[in-house]
Structures are given as structure tokens and as C-alpha cells.
């Protein structure tokens, strides 16, 4: 519980209208996009400036009140569930694009900017911000940075961390640090920028970011290749890369996902094949034309039963929009949708998809798989029902097996969704006890009182897939 005198302090900092404390308001911020994890915050605050964030941190530190920074809550690892209560920080007022610098190809933003708004703003100037998480219509840049979000264009263009050049952040001790800058090269000390990216609000509160932009590709083409078996699809992926082409997007959807997506989007996707690859290339017209032709030939040689290049930009857009809607489509099937992002080296995609299907069979659960085939980042997804405890136990066991298998194949427990609460029990599987010890040492150094987003990244529990809070 937060005392009345502390609440008075907070109200003085952010103003009455930016402090929310009713049961209804707290309930809104008791969960995020992660199924089955919920906990009420004591208070919700919406600071208007970095200085207000500093003042909030100082007030919280005195009373050891947890602080959970939150964008739109679209993360899938319970990264923003206030599991230890305390204060949820909203960035709805710190949502401005501060500068687009065309000479240095950078954009400087506050954390509350919506990803898609940023992308559109820079595209209007002929520039390009590539990271495109499926949630980009609602996600914030601050959330993307805290989770190091990926997206469909990760294969060719990398993920959020590849575009973060500098940060302003408030430390647990109330001090402000500024890392990096508009600098293509900077080796002044340890790379705090990249330490903060993906640290899920557990090391500092990000209040401003300078992001790298690149020239907008002048053209793009999209194609769909259909397969009667998964191996042929996986072979196409390998052969495209082996032919030294890096497509902008190289997405995989299995038959059950395809069916769900078509039912949802009704754009005439085929639903009678085992798998499809959605492939996009961008760049200069000549390169796109040449690559698309070569990739289509490779898909056909590898056993695609059909390869179709989108005839118009609208048709292409419909295909990628349908793909982005995969989670929404699958979420309609059952009350609860567990979506994971086990990731393997690209060469192991076929093995991983087969392993997922065997694991689903073994535990008698339905798992639909789609994801970023080009970068080995798969999204095995289980439509289930959290009220069915017996089935949930099997789902949990299946996902534990999937993480285990991903690691056996040289992969990781999470490619782009983050650790948060739901992957914390598995983190040691990937990084080892020595790795956990190093990470905890860093956490302790930066946040000795454990006030920044406690209960995330690290956990006492192991091998427990689902956490249901009271």
C-alpha cells in the first residue's frame, strides 16, 4: 500500500489529472497482452517530462515502491504486469517525435510514440525505420526498446536494437544518463545503450531515444509460395540464403495457421496446402526484379506447388496484413492463446517445425506454427482454455519441451518477445548459471533496492510456464 503522504507527493509531481487510483483504473493496468498473468498496481502515474520521472523515482526509492514502465502493454511475456504492486508509469504525455535529422539520418523520440506513427512520419521524408513488430499499430517505441522487439523485416534489416543509437534514461538512484548519440561510431566506455535495450525496464527508465534511419527502399515485391510439405518450404529458405539473397521478409505459415488467417481475413488464401512462404524483397527496381525472379525459381525447384507474385501493391499489402493478423486470427479459435517465440539458427527451421509437431502430438495439444523463417524465429501458438487446468498442464509441458528442443538446436527461448515473467523460469536454460549470475550482478549494481520492474527477467521458480497471480 502507498501512504497518503506519498500519494500527495506523486500528485504534486504529475498533477491530479495524471494520477489514477480507482479500482477500475488500476484494473486496466493489471495485465498486458500476455494471457493468464494479472496483478493490480497501487497507482498509475503519467509523467509529462524526464524531470517528473526523476521525481517519481526519488519518491519511490525512499519507500521502496516498485515502478513498472509501460507502453501499450502489447508485450507477450508479462513484462509490464505489476506483479509486486507499486506504480505503473504511462508515457502518454511523453509521446512526441522531437526531431527528424535528415543530415544524420536519425530520429529522436519520446518513449510514448506509437511505432507505426514513427514509421509513417519518417517515410513521408523518404526515410525508413525498419523494425516492424506485428503489434506496431499500437505498440510504443519505448516498449519496443525495452523488449528489443523484432518483426517481419528482421532478416534483412535487424531488430530494434540495431536502430537504437542513443538513450536518455533515469536510473534507480534518480540520476539521468545519456548514452551514445547521433554517432555511427562511439566506443567511449561500456555499451550502456545496448545494455538498456531489451532490459525490460529492470535497469533504468528510458525517457528519450535517438534512432537510426536508412533511406527508404525505392521498390518492393511480394510473393507467396505454396508447399505440400514443410521440408520443401524449409529447403527453399536455405537455398535462397545460400544463393546469397537476403529477402526483406521471409515468413512461414503452417496449414492450421493459414486456415485461421483465411477465416479471419477472407482474402482468398489457399488453405489446402501444408505450408506457405510469404516472401518480400525491397531495394532498387533492378535488384528486386532480379531477386524475385531467382527466388521464385528456387521455390519451384524446391518443390513449391505454386508460386505467385502479387500483381499490385494492394494485393501485396493484403498478404502482409493477413500475416500480421495471424495472432489475432488464432486468438479467435479458443478462449486462451499461448504464443511463443522459440528461435533456432535458420538452418534448423525444418527440424524445429517437425519437433514442434511431434511435441504437440506427444502432449495431445493443438499447436499452430508461423513465424519468421528467414531468421529462425518461430511462433508456435496454442489455442487453449486457461480454465481447463488439465489441458493447461499439458500445454505447459509441451512448451517446456519446445524451449528445450530450441536450445538443443542451438537456439534460444525467446527471439523477440522478451523474458518478462513467463520466460524467466527458462532463462538459465539458455544463458547458464554463470550468465544468470552476471545478469543479477548487473541488476544489483544498477538497482540495489530492486524497485525497477521487480519480478521480471529473474525468478526463483523454474520450469513453470504459466503464472497466475492473485
**Shortest CB 168 distance to its own copies, Å:** 11
Query: Which is it for the CA torsion 16, 21, 26, 28, positive or negative?
Result: negative
Reported residue count of the chain is 470
User: Which is closer to its own copies, CB of 77 or CB of 333?
Assistant: 77
**Shortest CB 335 distance to its own copies, Å:** 28
User: Which is closer to its own copies, CB of 380 or CB of 383?
Assistant: 380
User: Which is closer to its own copies, CB of 21 or CB of 162?
Assistant: 162
What order do you get walking across the sheet with 43-45 strand by strand? 19-20, 43-45, 87-90, 67-70
**Shortest CB 135 distance to its own copies, Å:** 15
Burial class (CB in 10 A: 0-12, 13-18, 19+), 121: middle
What order do you get walking across the sheet with 205-212 strand by strand? 97-101, 106-109, 205-212, 164-170, 176-180
User: Which is closer to its own copies, CB of 28 or CB of 246?
Assistant: 246
**Shortest CB 436 distance to its own copies, Å:** 8
Name 428's Cβ contacts closer than 8 Å, sequence gap at least 6: 435, 436, 462
User: Which is closer to its own copies, CB of 270 or CB of 345?
Assistant: 345
Cα separation values, 85 from 66, 140, 284, 421, Å: 7, 23, 51, 14
**Shortest CB 292 distance to its own copies, Å:** 14
**Shortest CB 183 distance to its own copies, Å:** 6
Q: Which residue has the cell 498496481?
A: 41
| Residues pairing with 252 in the sheet | 277, 371
User: Which is closer to its own copies, CB of 30 or CB of 179?
Assistant: 179
**Shortest CB 457 distance to its own copies, Å:** 6
**Shortest CB 445 distance to its own copies, Å:** 3
**Shortest CB 35 distance to its own copies, Å:** 19
User: Which is closer to its own copies, CB of 120 or CB of 272?
Assistant: 120
**Shortest CB 151 distance to its own copies, Å:** 9
User: Which is closer to its own copies, CB of 195 or CB of 305?
Assistant: 195
User: Which is closer to its own copies, CB of 40 or CB of 431?
Assistant: 431
User: Which is closer to its own copies, CB of 83 or CB of 333?
Assistant: 83
Amino acid at each position: 500500500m502507498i501512504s497518503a503522504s506519498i500519494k500527495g507527493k506523486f500528485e504534486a509531481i504529475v498533477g491530479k489529472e495524471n494520477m489514477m487510483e480507482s479500482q477500475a483504473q488500476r484494473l486496466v493496468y493489471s495485465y498486458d497482452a500476455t494471457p493468464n498473468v494479472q496483478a493490480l498496481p497501487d497507482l498509475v502515474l503519467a509523467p509529462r517530462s524526464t524531470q517528473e520521472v526523476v521525481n517519481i523515482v526519488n519518491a519511490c526509492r525512499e519507500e521502496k515502491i516498485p515502478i513498472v514502465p509501460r507502453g501499450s502493454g502489447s508485450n507477450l511475456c508479462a513484462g509490464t504486469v505489476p506483479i509486486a504492486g507499486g506504480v505503473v508509469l504511462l508515457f502518454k504525455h511523453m509521446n512526441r517525435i522531437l526531431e527528424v535529422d535528415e543530415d544524420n539520418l536519425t530520429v529522436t523520440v519520446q518513449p510514448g510514440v506509437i511505432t507505426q506513427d514513427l514509421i509513417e512520419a519518417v517515410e513521408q521524408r523518404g526515410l525508413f525505420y525498419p523494425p516492424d513488430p506485428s503489434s506496431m499499430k499500437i505498440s510504443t517505441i519505448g516498449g519496443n526498446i525495452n523488449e528489443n522487439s523484432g518483426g517481419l523485416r528482421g532478416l534483412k534489416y535487424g531488430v530494434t536494437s540495431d536502430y537504437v543509437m542513443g538513450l536518455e534514461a533515469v536510473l534507480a538512484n534518480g540520476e539521468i544518463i545519456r548514452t551514445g548519440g547521433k554517432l555511427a561510431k562511439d566506443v567511449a566506455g561500456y555499451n550502456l545503450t545496448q545494455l538498456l535495450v531489451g532490459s525490460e525496464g529492470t535497469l533504468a527508465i528510458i525517457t528519450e531515444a535517438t534512432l537510426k534511419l536508412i533511406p527508404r527502399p525505392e521498390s518492393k515485391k511480394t510473393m507467396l509460395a505454396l508447399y505440400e510439405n514443410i521440408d520443401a518450404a524449409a529447403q527453399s529458405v536455405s537455398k535462397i540464403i545460400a544463393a546469397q539473397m537476403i529477402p526483406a521478409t521471409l515468413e512461414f505459415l503452417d496449414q492450421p495457421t493459414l486456415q485461421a488467417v483465411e477465416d479471419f481475413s477472407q482474402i482468398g488464401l489457399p488453405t489446402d496446402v501444408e505450408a506457405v512462404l510469404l516472401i518480400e524483397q525491397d531495394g532498387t527496381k533492378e535488384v528486386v526484379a532480379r531477386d524475385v525472379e531467382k527466388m521464385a525459381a528456387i521455390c519451384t525447384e524446391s518443390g513449391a506447388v505454386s508460386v505467385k507474385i502479387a500483381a499490385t501493391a494492394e494485393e501485396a499489402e493484403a498478404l502482409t496484413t493477413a500475416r500480421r493478423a495471424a495472432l489475432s486470427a488464432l486468438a479467435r479459435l479458443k478462449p486462451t492463446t499461448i504464443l511463443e517465440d522459440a528461435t533456432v539458427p535458420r538452418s534448423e527451421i525444418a527440424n524445429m517445425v517437425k519437433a514442434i509437431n511431434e511435441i504437440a502430438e506427444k502432449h495431445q495439444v493443438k499447436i499452430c506454427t508461423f513465424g519468421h523463417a528467414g531468421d529462425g524465429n518461430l511462433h508456435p501458438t496454442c489455442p487453449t482454455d486457461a480454465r481447463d487446468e488439465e489441458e493447461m498442464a499439458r500445454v505447459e509441458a509441451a512448451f517446456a519441451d519446445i524451449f528445450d528442443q530450441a536450445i538443443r538446436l542451438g537456439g534460444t527461448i525467446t527471439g523477440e518477445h522478451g523474458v518478462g515473467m513467463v520466460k524467466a523460469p527458462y532463462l538459465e536454460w539458455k544463458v547458464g548459471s554463470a550468465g544468470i549470475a552476471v545478469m543479477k550482478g548487473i541488476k544489483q549494481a544498477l538497482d540495489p533496492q530492486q524497485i525497477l520492474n521487480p519480478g521480471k527477467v529473474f525468478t526463483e521458480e523454474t520450469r513453470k510456464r504459466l503464472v497466475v497471480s492473485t
